[in-house]
Structure 1
Amino acid sequence: MMEQHRPVRFLEGKRIYLRPVELADARPHFQILFDTENRRLTGTQRSFTPMQIEQYIEQKTSDESSVWLLIALRDTDEVIGDIALQDIDNTNRNANIRIAINHAEHKGKGFGSEAMKLMLNYGFGILNLHRIELNVFAYNEHARRTYEKLGFEVEGIAREALYYDHAYHDSINMSILKREFQERYLADMTR
């Protein structure tokens, strides 16, 4: 009997886990890139081909300045989004983080917050980062409130940095420091 492929669970939470991206994930990722709401929330402006997605996966999986993982439900292994630490700067010990939850039925249920806590804990506790930043577009008010609840602080606004859907939009720069994360979450993460 053929053994069924079980995904690797790189980082595990209570309801989700984070796993490495594989070349087999190219087709589903390609489909997600054409979801209108996902494109708007991420500010995606370009169109991609399946081959470009495969090349991107191959490039990112060998890129030492990033950690790109898929977010999957523990109970079903269904992939519901992705998260990445990118532009990792080992000299200054900082990085950028981004996240996307793919479908409306999985949004607003705390899966993104759980994934962010797992990745922040990895970034601060394993990669020994000092500062993790992100950018969120001003029209994504739900995400901004979520990041603030997680402990991110607004550092500044890049005014009219994104042109999307016939208008310019501000990009809000936010960050969290290792000590801020530890004060807020370390006791909870070690239980």
Structure 2
Amino acid sequence: MAYDNIRVLDRDDADRYLELRLEALLQDPDAFGSTYEETMQNSMKELLHQYKQRLVPTEKSFTVGAFYEATLISAASILRQEMIKFNHKAALLAVYTSPAYRGKGIGKAVLYAVIEHAKKLEGLEQITLSVLKSNKSAKKLYESAGFEVFGCEKQAIKYKNRYHDELHMKLLL
């Protein structure tokens, strides 16, 4: 087995999550809205404090992670819209699996765990996400879970003078 367990993370996982997040920003810089450089403008102490706050699971947000031994190897987060008119929607964010563990079904297991946990949130009807159009493996993963493309934003991201198109996808719960 490539992982020991999958569960909702909490504040006690902040150090492991921060390590995985920084790896993600370095390994796949085009896939995330924030950059490693922007993130590192804060001290490690400040970042750890931020993640301890963010990882407290609520009705508005939670993060699911997969562990191999004590190492966090994959994670995905949900952030629910707060405004009344948009509260039926949540965004899937910060999806990442360490390269050494890709292709083993771990990302899929984390995605399915996120969806199952999201279904328990009262009034939540859909999950949306954005993915680089060029990221065929991620698009295939999301489609396998039932997500459908509802739009494409041309030149959605510009990083180091390169543009990237983003697909917008949603899953009706």
The TM-score with structure 2 as length reference comes to 0.78
Q: Secondary structure at the match of 1:25?
A: helix
Q: Alpha-carbon deviation of 1:139?
A: 2.4
Deviation at 1:43, TM superposition (A): 4.2
Aligned to 1:10: none
Judge conservation of contact 2:65–2:110 (CA < 8 Å) in 1: no
Alpha carbons of structure 1 residues 119 and 166: separation in structure 2 relative to 1, 3 Å: same
Counterpart of 2:124 in 1: which secondary structure?
A: coil
Structure 1 residues 127 and 113: CA distance shift in structure 2, 3 A:
farther
Q: Distance in 1 between matches of 2:39 and 2:9?
A: 24
1:19 is the counterpart of 2:8: yes
Give the alignment of 1:1-191 within 5 angstroms.
Answer: 16-23=5-12, 25-26=14-15, 29-30=18-19, 32-34=21-23, 36-45=26-35, 46-48=38-40, 49-62=43-56, 64=58, 65-73=60-68, 76-89=69-82, 91=84, 92-178=87-173
Structure 2 Cα separation of the partners of residues 39 and 109 of structure 1: 22
Q: Is the 8 A contact 2:16 2:72 kept in 1?
A: no
TM-align CA RMSD: 2.7
Structure 1 residue 177: Cα displacement: 0.3
Q: Which moved more, 1:133-142 or 1:25-34?
A: 25-34
Q: 1: CA distance between counterparts of 2:20 and 2:109?
A: 24
Larger-Rg structure: 1
Identity, % of aligned pairs? 20
Aligned-partner Cα distance in 2 for 1:33–1:142: 21
Which structure exhibits the higher relative contact order, with contacts defined as CA atoms closer than 8 Å and separated by 6 or more residues?
2
Q: In 2 relative to 1, CA 147–28 (structure 1 residues): closer, same or farther, beyond 3 Å?
A: closer
Displacement of 1:98 in angstroms is 2.2
| 2:91/2:128 contact within 8 Å kept | yes
Shift of 1:134: 0.6
Q: Distance in 1 between matches of 2:83 and 2:122?
A: 9
User: What's the secondary structure of 2:104's corresponding residue?
Assistant: coil
Q: Matches of 2:170 and 2:111 in 1, distance apart?
A: 13
CA gap 1:50/1:61 in 2 versus in 1, 3 angstroms = same
Three-state SS of the structure 1 residue aligned to 2:74 is strand
CA contact (8 A) 1:38 1:102 kept: no
Cα distance change on mapping 1:27 and 1:111 into 2, 3 Å: closer
